[in-house]
């Protein structure tokens, strides 16, 4: 009888372990979360070097904060999701979506035609223009003043395309860096002469670096920011619907005022 009882309990234990394994496998979800409705946590990819869109709050720890973070949480909460933010260099964000490492990307990203070949985008939620940033006293006041100069851009950004256009009329050497703070550091150190940076981001650096100045590119088109999703993701339609509602009811404008100091 003891042997029979032991065999019975071992069988029950084995069934319990198999059941637990099955539950664990189910809860792991599909990729980073995405279209699996049982997994309510979404992983958001961003490049946290782009204040005030997204940056590390070094004064209070290592939390990533900013306009994109607040907007992502606002939209996700409405849809019943929570958001986990993952910091990735900008030039690796599209690849992270394709590899299933993140469910979506918000990083001041412009929905260019090339990017649309690899990911889907929401509607544009914010627009800005590009600036040339240089040290005060550099003599760089116009695009023509860049002749013979080293011009910095963030790797894989639309500013690379802007530099290519400038290079058609002005002789420049283009220098790529992974993050915006690197461009600022290179300017201050004299290793590059200027950089192309989005105006909203540049103005934040002007506030903390009185030795820098800049001007808007006169023929620069507005660069819109949108949310990037995997191709054919159900999240695109879900987020876009809520985004439209929040833009119409003024909640997005409130975030613009909070992070940029005024409506645009």
* Structure-block tokens of residue 185: 């550091």
The pLDDT, as a whole number, for residue 219 is 72
Superfamily of domain 41-127+224-260: Periplasmic binding protein-like II (3.40.190.10)
Looking at residue 47, what is its pLDDT?
Answer: 98
Ranges of each domain in the chain: 41-127+224-260, 130-221
| Mean pLDDT (the chain, rounded) | 88
pLDDT average, residue stretch 42-51: 98
Q: Is the pLDDT of residue 222 over 80?
A: no
pLDDT in tens, 21-36: 433 332 223 347 555 5
245: tokens are 């509602």
Amino acid 218: pLDDT: 82
Residue 5: the pLDDT is 43
Looking at residue 72, its pLDDT comes to 98
Q: 163-179: per-residue pLDDT in tens?
A: 999 999 999 999 999 99
> Band of the pLDDT at 132, cuts 50, 70, 90?
very high
pLDDT confidence band for 263 (50 / 70 / 90): very low
**CATH number for the domain running over 130-221:** 3.40.190.10
By the 8 A CB rule, do 29 and 44 touch? no
| Identical fold between 41-127+224-260 and 130-221 | yes
């Amino acid at each position: 009888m003891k042997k029979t009882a032991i065999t019975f309990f071992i069988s029950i234990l084995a069934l319990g372990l198999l059941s637990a394994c099955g539950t664990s496998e189910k809860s792991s979800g599909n990729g980073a979360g995405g279209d699996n409705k049982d997994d309510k946590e979404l992983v958001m990819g961003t490049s946290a070097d782009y204040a005030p869109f997204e940056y590390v709050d070094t004064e209070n720890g290592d939390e990533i904060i900013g306009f994109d973070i607040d907007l992502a949480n606002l939209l996700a909460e409405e849809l019943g999701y929570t958001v986990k933010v993952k910091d990735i260099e900008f030039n690796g964000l599209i690849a992270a979506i394709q590899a299933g490492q993140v469910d979506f990307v918000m990083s001041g990203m412009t929905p260019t035609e090339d990017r649309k070949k690899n990911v889907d985008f929401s509607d544009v939620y914010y627009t800005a223009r590009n600036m040339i940033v240089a040290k005060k006293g550099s003599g760089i006041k116009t695009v023509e003043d860049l002749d013979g100069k080293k011009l910095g851009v963030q790797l894989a950004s639309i500013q690379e395309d802007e530099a290519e256009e400038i290079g058609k009329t002005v002789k420049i050497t283009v220098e790529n860096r992974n993050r915006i703070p690197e461009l600022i550091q290179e300017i201050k150190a004299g290793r590059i002469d200027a950089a192309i940076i989005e105006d909203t981001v540049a103005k934040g650096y002007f506030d903390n670096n009185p030795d820098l100045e800049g001007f808007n590119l006169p023929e620069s088109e507005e660069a819109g920011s949108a949310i990037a999703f995997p191709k054919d993701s159900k999240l695109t339609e879900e987020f876009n619907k809520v985004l439209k509602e929040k833009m119409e009811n003024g909640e997005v404008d409130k975030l613009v005022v909070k992070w940029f100091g005024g409506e645009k």
